[in-house]
Amino acid sequence: MKKIAVLTSGGDSPGMNAAVRAVVRKGIYEGVEVHGVYQGYQGLVNDNIKKLELGDVGDIIQRGGTKLYSARCPEFIEPDVRKKAIANLQKRGIDSLVVIGGDGSYRGAQRLNEEGIKTVGVPGTIDNDINGTDYTIGFDTALNTIVDAVDRIRDTATSHERTFIVEVMGRDAGDLALWAGVAGGAETILIPESHSDIKEVAERIETGMKRGKKHSIIIVAEGVMTAAQCGEELRKYINIDTRESVLGHMQRGGKPTGSDRVLASRLGAYAVELLLNDVHGHAVGIEDNRLTRTSFDRVFEESHRIDEGLFRLSKELSI
Ligand code: ATP
């Protein structure tokens, strides 16, 4: 009987559980034995692996976080450490692995694939920063969490006639900031992919104030600067009283949206399908609403790009 394993790695994202469920159920449906690795690559090294049954993934499709737990395992870059992990799989007769995580997790998956474990990646991260897929699992949920927070902040911004600066996650990728900014009607969106001229932002706020605009919302991705720094920078150019709000880890949690659950179910099952067809060394994704696969090499070929059209639109709509 074919045996595969599944793990979640890197930052948790809403929908990881739905993906694990899909891998386990699709596997069992196809007559495969599925094993769960707890605590990501750390659990693979520590031999924290258990066979999963249908019931083990019951009642988790609606839960945020990951039932398999996630961990960072920096030593996984060492070949000797990976050898231990591979031995733990091989002694159980497991030759295939589904890795649900972000691009760091994919790098570990690529190594394992080169070293004898047939591996497929499933994009689980709120950042939406992985090539080879239009959307990552968790992005839609995190986006809606941020939009909900921005709507609430807007109530206060309007009532107190103030500028609010909202700091959102995104060290290298501005997708969350951009989409939340468009959906939340933010006046300014600062993302790492585009140089931000704070003087120009200040001038625009000032022009708005002169024509009677009393409040505004700025969304800043953490990779650009902190909300506090943004406030300080603005005050170099205009006399303005700002309030800052750092959304922090609340963006990563919560129950997954329907879209994320469907995406996770499709991608998890597709990953199993690929392994059953002996296709590995690839990441699965969704492009133009079609399931696609991209080799890890191609995923890493270029850095993630922002949707320039959407960024332009955000500027056009916030004049
Ligand atoms: P997120 O984008 O949500 O942070 P991620 O998957 O990118 O998720 P990372 O912390 O970058 O999160 O990576 C997760 C794990 O993948 C690391 O802790 C490490 O175990 C493994 N990993 C990362 N880079 C490599 C690499 N070059 N070689 C082997 N393993 C790696």
Specify the CATH number for the domain of residue 101.
Answer: 3.40.50.450
Residue 309 in domain: no
Residue 197: both structure tokens together: 């001229």
Residue 235 in domain: yes
Cβ pair 145, 14 in contact under 8 A: no
Residue 267 in domain: yes
Residue 316 in domain: no
Average pLDDT of 174-196?
A: 96
Cβ pair 124, 137 in contact under 8 A: yes
ipTM: 0.95
Residue 208: both structure tokens together: 């708005």
Kindly state whether residues 46 and 79 are assigned to the same domain.
Answer: yes
Kindly state whether residues 147 and 46 are assigned to the same domain.
Answer: no
Rounded distance, CA 140 to CA 127, Å?
10
Kindly state whether residues 127 and 201 are assigned to the same domain.
Answer: no
Residue 163 has pLDDT above 80, yes or no: yes
Write out pLDDT tens, residues 63-118.
Answer: 999 999 999 999 999 999 999 999 999 999 999 999 999 999 999 999 999 999 99
The residue out of 233, 253, 273 marking a domain boundary is 253
Ligand 1 centroid–CA 69 distance in Å is: 14
Residue 61 in domain: yes
Cβ pair 251, 176 in contact under 8 A: yes
CATH number at residue 175: 3.40.50.460
Cβ pair 49, 90 in contact under 8 A: no
H or E segment at 109?
helix 103-114
Kindly state whether residues 108 and 243 are assigned to the same domain.
Answer: no
Kindly state whether residues 127 and 156 are assigned to the same domain.
Answer: no
Indicate the pairing of strand 282-287 with strand 290-295.
antiparallel
Q: Provide the pLDDT confidence category of residue 14 given band limits of 50, 70 and 90.
A: very high
Report angle CA 279, 9, 92 to the nearest 5 degrees. 60
Kindly state whether residues 260 and 133 are assigned to the same domain.
Answer: yes
Residue at token pair 């692996």: 49
In the three-class reduction of DSSP (H, G, I as helix; E, B as strand; rest coil), residue 135 is classed as coil
Q: Provide the pLDDT confidence category of residue 212 given band limits of 50, 70 and 90.
A: confident
**Residues acting as catalytic residues:** 127
List, chain by chain if needed, residues with CB within 6 Å of any ligand 1 atom.
Answer: 9-11, 41, 72-74, 76-77, 101-105, 107-108, 111, 125, 127
Kindly state whether residues 227 and 127 are assigned to the same domain.
Answer: no
Kindly state whether residues 134 and 277 are assigned to the same domain.
Answer: yes
* Ligand 1 pocket, mutate which of 13, 107, 222, 252 (most atoms under 8 A from CB): 107
pLDDT at 59: 97
What domain range is 35 assigned to? Answer: 3-138+256-299
Residue 164 in domain: yes
Average pLDDT of 117-125?
A: 98
Q: Provide the pLDDT confidence category of residue 208 given band limits of 50, 70 and 90.
A: confident
Kindly state whether residues 15 and 61 are assigned to the same domain.
Answer: yes
In this prediction the pTM is 0.96
What's the number of domains the chain is made of?
Answer: 2
Kindly state whether residues 128 and 190 are assigned to the same domain.
Answer: no
Residue 22 in domain: yes
Kindly state whether residues 42 and 134 are assigned to the same domain.
Answer: yes
The residue count for the chain: 319
Residue 307 in domain: no
Ligand 1 centroid–CA 165 distance in Å is: 30
Beta-bridge partners for 166: 219, 245
Within 13 Å and on the Cβ side, how many CA atoms surround 93? 7
Determine which residue's CA is closest to atom 27 belonging to ligand 1. 107
Residues of 141-157 as b/e, b for ≥16 C-beta within 10 angstroms? Answer: bbbbbbbebbeebbeeb
Residue 215 has pLDDT above 90, yes or no: no
Rg (CA), the chain: 22
Ligand 1 centroid–CA 273 distance in Å is: 24
Write out pLDDT tens, residues 247-299.
Answer: 999 999 999 999 999 999 999 999 999 999 999 999 999 999 999 999 999 99
Kindly state whether residues 167 and 124 are assigned to the same domain.
Answer: no
| Residue % of the chain over a pLDDT of 90 | 90
